[in-house]
Chain A
Amino acid sequence: MKMLETIYSIMENEDVTLQFPDRIPKQHRITRIKESPCQTACPIDTRVKTYLGLIAAGEFEKAIEVVKRDNPFPGVCGRVCIHPCENECKRGRVDEPLAICYLKRFLADYEFRHGRVRVGKVQRKKKKRIAIVGSGPAGLTAANNLVRSGYGITVFEASSEPGGMLVNGISPFILPNDIVRFEIEGIKEWGVEIKTNTRIGEDISLEALKTDYDAVLFAIGAQKALKPNIPGNSESKGIIDFLDFLKKINHGEAIESGERIAIVGGDRASVDLARSAVRAGFDQATVLYSRSRTEMPVHEHYIQAAEAEGVNIFFQTSPLKIIEKKGRVIGIECIKTEPVFSQFGRKKPALVKDSNFTIKADRIASTINREPDLSSFKEVENFRLSVLNTFSVDPLSLSTNIDGIFAAGDCATGPKTTIEAIASGNKAALSIDAYLRDVPLKHRGQARQPVEYEVQIEYKGQQEQVEMPKLPATERNSLREVNLGFSAEEAMAEAKRCLKCGPCMECDICNSDCDKRLALLYPRGETTGMLLRVQHDTLPTIDGPLNGQLVWDRKNTLPVTVQPLLAEVITELCRGCGDCVEVCLYAAPQLTMLDRGVHISEINKDLCRGCGVCLSACESSAITINYFSDKQIEALASGSLIENKIIAFACNWSTEMTADLEQISDLKMIRVLCSARINPTKILKAFEMGARGVLGIGCYEKACHYAAVPETTKHYRVAKKMMQTLGQEPQRIRFERLSPDEPDRINKIVRSFLKKIEDLK
């Protein structure tokens, strides 16, 4: 396991504790972060509050510098980003959130009109060279960072124009190609070479890249659309590859336009595809979505824009069968659905009997699935691929199983949004840089989930968002951009609505965020505390409280006391039964006799490992683990159940073998030090909160650091029996032990478990 240094951030008044701590290196870098909810929500940690303030002050160029520090594509993001920042904007609680996305677009338009603002500079040139395969947002963002670190960068692009999904998959009336070209030019101006019409495997071999370059980054995206999973002849003429279709429209190529197109899927891609089809000459474009309008993961104004252009969106409609005649598609049989609350509290679309109807169509497309196109190079066999047919990568370093080859963006994560691809590119750049300089990777942490803040909002009076000027409705039947952009006055007025939230990050973040390995640090003699992110995965040392030094900005040093996770007995709740003593491998709990003849357990802090096995064995709930209590585990679970995921409780020691699983979007991975921490009550509560299934993953008997395999087995057995008596299928609970000689087994197990749960619905 790679030794990773820890990165710290400043916080208020908190004591220090480490979750899953390790031998602490003596020197650490600290980055001061003052964050507001919009910044926390952003996958690339954009300093939103800062640039909004600069816009409000009229300092547009300085604002552009702030944006372009981490993002070379402000014009792209300002048009297509899903803007999680706006969802978290506290102004939304007063009237409407800030139009952060449109404001970023304003800055990009400003740069486009007034001339490029160069942010950063190229450091001393290095001898090493990096090959990047794919010129989409992930690859080019990585290129943008690495070229400024001094490396020689060559980007290989299979098609004739760089940009990937930006030029192929998003229509020009949303994202004009000249904006993309302008921003790509900006990256090339640093000295990045882009070789188009060069496909890996055909025009250049992977071997050649490995020889000529010191590192290779795959960023080829997920540009192979999969066939729609609907009964009917999938070879019929008329079932179109939606990506190919979009590419042709976007390049102004002639397409075989028909009269009617039916699109299955409920995401932005399907709505945009419908709008593109209307512009390409289709008489009718219909979108089928199995759930309701409010559940569709597309903002209301996009839906309205599409409907205004004549797109029909059928909600609560599921495709049943493709109808064909003489080998050509003539329609799609559909059925209405209605939301039904299943036994486990989840809303699922249930088919409404006898509500079948047919939509006539001569073209059918599905935007639901796409995966990386790995067809062109044979060496793909040497790579470890994940269950989604993407490159299986280490979640921290983005390295594939082949040394020196990395993967970022959709081809590593599966289809995700543009901003996530940019974040992935940034991450890959840091990792490749560390790899080439042969230094430990300084990890800045994963993209964070937005968290609840208590923010005092003074009543400032209602003022809704400044309205985005749009192309008149009659002019929209073209590929011209529909949104026209703010003027400077409009931008400043909108930016002034910002409430300037933050700066505090309460320690409650790490309480509910503890799978991010957060810890708190309290420097000796200081009243200001700090938040740590610790990536180490071994036991606390036996020396008890640990001492370390913190180095801040390479100048300031603070001596600190650090404490590991520890179990603690709430004395009034302890019944002295001694079960904790029995299960603990490290003999940390000890029974002491009180007067009145009763015993109370006490945990020896020097011996305790914080694993929580005693906690789960204590029937009186008398044991708690500081900074990783049961309530925190419940909060982690309940947060993900809103998204209807399967819960997997995985032990910390299985990280290497279960790293891939973090990428499966249907799974919420909750890491605990030992799987025996999960007792039947936690599993019952997970189902009570609406879980569809619970998977436990732990070590095999000899490997368990806490000798707790019998405990875990018992917990899951009892939970299964309880849920079975409650009338639930026993297959919804499973516990698997990992075996090091079969590293791929867990992937197969998880895949079959997820499939089983789907079938049980």
Chain B
Amino acid sequence: MAQSTEKTEVLQDILRKRQVYNCIECGKCSSVCPIGQINGAFYPRIIMRKAMYENPELMSDGLLWSCLNCGRCDEVCDLDVHFYELIKDLRAACVNWGGEAIYPPHNGGPHAWMKLMTAAERKQDRLDWINSDLKYREQGEVLYFVGCLPYYDPFFEKLKLNTLSIARGTVKILNNAGIEPAIMANERCCGHDLLWGGDVSDFKKLAELNIEEIKKTGAKTIITACAECYHTLKTEYPKYLGKLDLDIVHISEFLSENIADMTLKKVNKKVTFQDPCRLGRLSGIYEEPRNILKTIEGIELEEMQNNRSSGVCCGTSGWLSCGTYSKQIQLARLKEAKQTGAELLITSCPKCQIHFKCALYDKNVKEDSRIDIQDLVTLVSGCLA
């Protein structure tokens, strides 16, 4: 008995902090939820209801782990309910009380390697993607934060991802702009997936280790090509570790500023752009990737019907839940992309690319959803003269 009163109090605090009591159950959030449109059992309003009335029972509910944290509901809510932050806090409380994601895809493989990185003595061997024509250093003012790309390629062997081409492309772009970035030999996962999955303590361990490693490089500016790393380093690290004396920059911001000075070849392609949730709605960066695409000669940008703040999530978040609903979200979004007439779908987050490519791995997917996918960095680095 005592225990559930304590739990109820913790939950009440979370609900108050995230302004859940503002909710008037208007249902706008549910109408824009990508999962809600496919799986009738999940929608933001039902989570609100359960949070307010059922309290601790919500913790063992699988619905808690189905949310994509895409932020579409936050975007449309007029009453300023902080929905995705609510989900994050609820998951943290759930994990703190011994719970965990109910059906993590890949049997929790990605989380396992992220947790293995929390060991301080670990010395990774993660730089063999760097070709001899790429220039980098151990220390420098500008640091390139790579992310988990060296792990995604081998783990998802059958998808033939080659996400490391994003890493090579980024360094090539920076070199072209006259920068030899510092790259950490023992960089840890930014911790995004663990944080959104409620494992705050492991997230903190990764964050502390990263900050320590970054200090050794002497870097003042961190550039990353992953929307999740960007949002995590910029917004979440200060929340848990205090203000950082670092300038976090997404590659699209960097390119947007510097592309005018770059010499680019012409590329004749009609493209469309997938706004990553963590870059767009959660960080407010919409125009920079578009500026870049418009600057490249020969690129014709066609917007999808749902773009910028109404862009639709790639269907899976944090390796916490996946399945037939995610697949349908992915196929619907890919269809939307194809319908623009574009031949190439440009993304700016490796996760979007992985999830879309995984959907297309299914040989039975029809042509109306089949479109080539490429990262913004790969496109730009490919047309550097």
Chain A residues within CB distance 8 Å of chain B: 342-343, 345, 570-579, 591, 594, 596-600, 619-622, 630, 679-682, 684-685, 687-688, 714, 718, 721-722, 724-727
Contact = CB atoms under 8 A, between A and B. Distances in A.
B158 to A, nearest CB: 8
Contacts of B326: 575
Interface in B289-310: none
Given A343-B122, A722-B155, A680 B324 contact: no
Given A620-B105, A681-B106, A575 B116 contact: no
A704 to B, nearest CB: 20
B324 A681 contact: no
B69 to A, nearest CB: 19
Interface string B142-168: 000000001100111110000000000
Interface in B350-382: 358-359, 361-364, 366
Considering residues B108, B112, B358, which has the most beta carbons from chain A within 10 angstroms of its beta carbon? B112
A648 B107 CA distance: 20
B3 interface: no
A621 B106 contact: yes
Contacts of B116: 684, 687-688, 726
A681 B107 CA distance: 7
Interface stretch (B46-54, B123-131, B203-211): B123-131
5 smallest beta-carbon distances between A and B, as pairs: A681-B109, A573-B323, A684-B112, A681-B107, A727-B124
Nearest to A571: B324
A578 B158 CA distance: 13
A685 B110 CA distance: 10
B119 interface: yes
Assign chain B's interface to a size class: 35 or more
A726 B118 CA distance: 11
B112 A685 contact: yes
6 contacts: A573-B105, A576-B324, A598-B324, A725-B125, A726-B125, A727-B122
A688 B115 CA distance: 7
Contact of B358 (A619, A679, A688): A619
A721 B124 CA distance: 12
B109 A622 contact: no
A718 B113 contact: no
A727 B123 contact: yes
Contacts, number: 115
B157 A714 contact: yes
Contact of B364 (A573, A579, A599, A727): A599
A725 B322 contact: no
Contact of A630 (B38, B107, B327, B362): B107
Contacts of A594: 324
B104 interface: yes
Contact of A726 (B38, B124, B158, B359): B124
Given A596-B328, A620-B105, A725-B124, A576 B364 contact: yes
A597 B359 CA distance: 13
B286 interface: no
A620 B322 contact: yes
Contact of A576 (B106, B155, B156, B362): B362
A630 B104 CA distance: 12
A679 B107 contact: yes
Given A591-B364, A718-B154, A722-B155, A684 B323 contact: no
Contacts of B184: none
Given A596-B328, A725-B126, A575 B112 contact: no
A572 B324 contact: yes
B121 interface: yes
Given A684-B113, A688-B115, A726-B117, A574 B108 contact: no
Contacts of B119: 343, 345
Interface in B82-130: 103-109, 112-113, 115-117, 119, 121-126
Nearest to A575: B327
Interface in B171-214: none
A343 B325 CA distance: 39
Considering residues A574, A575, A577, A591, which has the most beta carbons from chain B within 10 angstroms of its beta carbon? A575
A680 B122 contact: no
B331 interface: yes
Contacts of A570: 103, 323
Contact of B366 (A597, A621, A630, A718): A597
A680 B362 contact: no
B241 to A, nearest CB: 24
Contacts of A724: 125
Contacts of B157: 714, 718
Given A578-B364, A725-B150, A726-B124, A684 B109 contact: yes
A239 B116 CA distance: 45
Given A572-B323, A575-B358, 18 more contacts: A574-B324, A575-B322, A596-B328, A599-B362, A620-B106, A620-B323, A621-B104, A621-B107, A622-B323, A684-B113, A685-B108, A688-B115, A718-B157, A721-B154, A722-B155, A725-B125, A725-B154, A726-B124
A579 B38 CA distance: 24
Nearest to B121: A343
Contacts of B108: 621, 681, 685
B362 A722 contact: no
Nearest to B368: A597
A687 B119 CA distance: 12
Contacts of B109: 679-681, 684-685
A684 B110 CA distance: 9
B112 A681 contact: yes
A724 B116 CA distance: 12
A575 B324 contact: yes
A722 B151 contact: yes
B358 A578 contact: no
Considering residues A591, A721, A727, which has the most beta carbons from chain B within 10 angstroms of its beta carbon? A727
B162 to A, nearest CB: 15
B113 A598 contact: no
B224 to A, nearest CB: 19
Nearest to B325: A572
Contact of B327 (A578, A598, A679): A598
A299 to B, nearest CB: 32
Contacts of A722: 113, 151, 154-155
A157 B105 CA distance: 62
Nearest to A345: B119
Contacts of A571: 324
A677 to B, nearest CB: 12
Nearest to B112: A684
A715 B385 CA distance: 41
Nearest to A686: B112
Nearest to A600: B324
A680 B155 contact: yes
A71 B108 CA distance: 47
A596 B362 CA distance: 15
Contacts of A573: 103, 105, 322-324
Contacts of B362: 575-578, 599
A596 B103 CA distance: 23
Given A681-B107, A721-B154, A688 B112 contact: yes
